[in-house]
């Protein structure tokens, strides 16, 4: 079946096919592949973008050889990240118009604008064009996760979220492979132009992607009518989740974006070696996803999220420690493993703590918090590395995240709860 049966009147999941293997979940995961390809493009092609729009300087051993300082690069990529703030309105609209319609629309617009960025005539034009598409790509990722969560029961939910994350990860891996194989002949222009290819396959995806029955059961009058609005009773837990989401993004933003620039320009690694480091992160990330799924279902959503966040922070510190090129091969995969392991428990917890009529809006708010955290990290890291160096910047920004991670234990555990099920009185917390 393409869709699960309607929920029972009490909101609990009925018996029936609620597996993560459903066609709609698999389709949402397939849609995540080009989204990952497009969103990861600026990070993978940072050196190409800087080389295209910069000019060589006298000293070949400094960042200034590209005529783009760390501050300029950090500001441009922070703007791209900050543009995802617009994803709140886009993702939140899925609580009014449905998951399917919004997901298909956002993917179409996001990929089209990504392809258009290949025509940029300057660095800031590239930043502006890509920034226009970024909110739609971010919203696509958020709504795909909501769709997967609503199609599955508690035993299958973390697996479905793993599938969405895996699809996104495959897309990022393809970015690295295509960039390496294409070399200078392809450049960043050819790389981003390829984002238009998946648009040809979207009509096929539209046939398989059905609206979730949970959304269909929400009365029209209950659907979110005010942008970003959530019930006052759940606002404290939303604010805590936003803080935690911003915290891990403070690490993953600089770790995922600057790693290839750092490896090639400062650690002395070749493009092939940096690409290899990125590709090694793929299988390690897959292991992280599986570990995260196991932890979510056995250790609980909260504890697994906290542990994974700590691993990601430690990996970021090691990555930029300046101890040699080997830290790229050790720190970057470790950060990816932590980030991957974080996805299943955090994604399941985010969905299970809120009701269907607000779930996409919450996903939008969490996307915004991730954007703010990543943007702050990109800008701060770019400025700090020029003043105190990569190693000190990483330690100053990333180490506190490992401490903040334990705030997850303040939230209710949802491992054994279905969507929209009331919290047991013994576990309900006052806010």
134 CB neighbour count, 10 Å cutoff = 27
Residue 406 burial (C-beta neighbours within 10 Å; 0-12, 13-18, 19+): middle
Instruction: Assess contact for 365 and 297: CB atoms under 8 A.
Output: no
CB neighbour class for 414 (10 Å; exposed up to 12, middle 13-18, buried from 19): buried
CA distances from residue 417 to 5, 87, 363, 398, 429 in whole angstroms, order as listed:
18, 28, 19, 33, 15
Res 314: pLDDT: 92
Most confident of 82-86, 112-116, 260-264: 112-116
H/E stretch holding 336: helix 326-352
| H or E element in which residue 195 lies | none
Among the residue ranges 85-94, 334-343, 392-401, the one predicted with the least confidence is: 85-94
**Cα separation of 414 and 363, whole Å?**
17
Q: What is the pLDDT of residues 261-277, one digit of tens each?
A: 777 666 666 667 766 77
Which of 330, 43, 11, 286 is closest to 188 using CA atoms? 43
Q: Give me the pLDDT at residue 172, please.
A: 80
| Nearest Cα residue to 145 out of 409, 374, 355, 346 | 346
Please provide the distance, in angstroms rounded to a whole number, between the alpha carbons at the two ends of the chain.
40
Task: Please give the class, per CATH, of domain 23-202+219-410.
Answer: mainly alpha
Q: Which residue has the higher pLDDT, 171 or 179?
A: 171
Reported confidence tier of residue 244, pLDDT bands at 50, 70, 90: very high
Sign of CA dihedral 371, 277, 159, 314: negative
Place of tokens 């005539």: 121
Which of the residue ranges 21-25, 192-196, 326-330, 338-342 would you say has the lowest mean pLDDT? 326-330
Q: How far is C-alpha 328 from the geometric centre of its chain's CA atoms?
A: 21
In angstroms, the CA 429 to CA 415 distance is: 16
What's the half-sphere exposure (Cβ side, CA atoms, 13 Å) at 265?
A: 23
pLDDT digits (tens, 9 = 90+) for 346-389: 998 988 888 888 888 888 889 889 888 888 887 888 788 778 87
Q: Please calculate the CA angle 419-148-248 and round it to the nearest 5 degrees.
A: 90
The average confidence (pLDDT) of the chain is 79
pLDDT, residue 360, reads 83
Query: What is this structure's pTM?
Result: 0.70
Q: Are 325 and 268 in contact (CB under 8 A)?
A: yes
Distance between CA atoms of residues 277 and 255, nearest Å? 13
Runs of H (alpha helix) within 353-421: 356-388, 390-404
Structure token digits, residue 85: 């703030």
Task: Give the model's pLDDT for residue 14.
Answer: 42
Residue boundaries of the structural domains of the chain: 23-202+219-410
Name residues whose C-beta falls within 8 Å of residue 186's C-beta, 6 or more positions apart in sequence.
178, 179
Tell me 408's DSSP state. Answer: G
Q: What is the pLDDT of residue 421?
A: 64
């Amino acid at each position: 079946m393409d869709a699960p049966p309607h929920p029972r009147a009490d909101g609990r999941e009925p018996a029936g096919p609620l597996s993560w293997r459903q066609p709609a979940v698999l389709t949402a995961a397939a849609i995540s592949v080009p989204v990952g390809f497009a969103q990861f493009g600026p990070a993978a092609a940072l050196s190409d973008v800087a080389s295209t729009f910069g000019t060589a300087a006298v000293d070949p051993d400094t960042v200034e050889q590209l005529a783009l300082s760390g501050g300029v690069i950090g500001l441009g990529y922070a703007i791209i990240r900050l543009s995802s703030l617009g994803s709140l309105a886009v993702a939140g609209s899925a609580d009014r118009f449905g998951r399917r319609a919004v997901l298909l629309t956002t993917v179409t617009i996001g990929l089209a604008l990504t392809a258009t960025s290949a025509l940029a005539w300057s660095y800031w034009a590239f930043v502006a064009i890509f920034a226009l598409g970024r909110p739609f790509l971010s919203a696509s990722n958020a709504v795909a996760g909501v769709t997967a969560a609503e199609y599955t029961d508690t035993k299958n939910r973390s697996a479905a979220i793993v599938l969405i994350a895996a699809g996104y990860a495959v897309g990022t891996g393809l970015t690295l492979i295509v960039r390496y194989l294409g070399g200078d002949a392809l450049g960043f222009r050819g790389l981003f132009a390829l984002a238009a290819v998946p648009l040809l396959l979207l009509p096929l995806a539209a046939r398989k992607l059905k609206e979730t029955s949970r959304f269909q059961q929400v009365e029209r009058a209950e659907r979110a009518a005010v942008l970003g609005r959530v019930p006052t009773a759940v606002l404290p837990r939303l604010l805590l989740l936003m803080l935690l989401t911003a915290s891990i993004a403070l690490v993953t933003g600089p770790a995922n974006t600057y790693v290839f620039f750092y490896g090639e320009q400062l650690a002395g690694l070749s493009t092939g070696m940096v690409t290899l480091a990125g590709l090694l992160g793929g299988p390690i990330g897959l292991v992280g996803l599986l570990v995260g799924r196991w932890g979510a279902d056995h250790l609980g959503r909260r504890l697994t999220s906290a542990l994974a966040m700590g691993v990601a922070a430690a990996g970021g510190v090691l990555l930029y420690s300046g101890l040699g090129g080997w830290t790229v091969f050790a720190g970057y995969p470790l950060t990816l493993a932590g980030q991957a392991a974080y996805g299943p428990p955090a994604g399941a917890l985010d969905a299970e703590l809120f009701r269907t009529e607000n779930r996409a809006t919450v996903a939008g708010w969490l996307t915004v918090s991730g954007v703010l955290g990543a943007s702050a990290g990109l800008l701060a890291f770019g400025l700090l590395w020029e003043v105190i160096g990569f190693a000190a910047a990483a330690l100053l920004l990333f180490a506190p995240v490992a401490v903040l991670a334990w705030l997850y234990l303040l939230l209710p555990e949802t491992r054994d709860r279905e969507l929209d099920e009331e919290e047991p009185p013994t576990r309900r917390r006052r806010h």
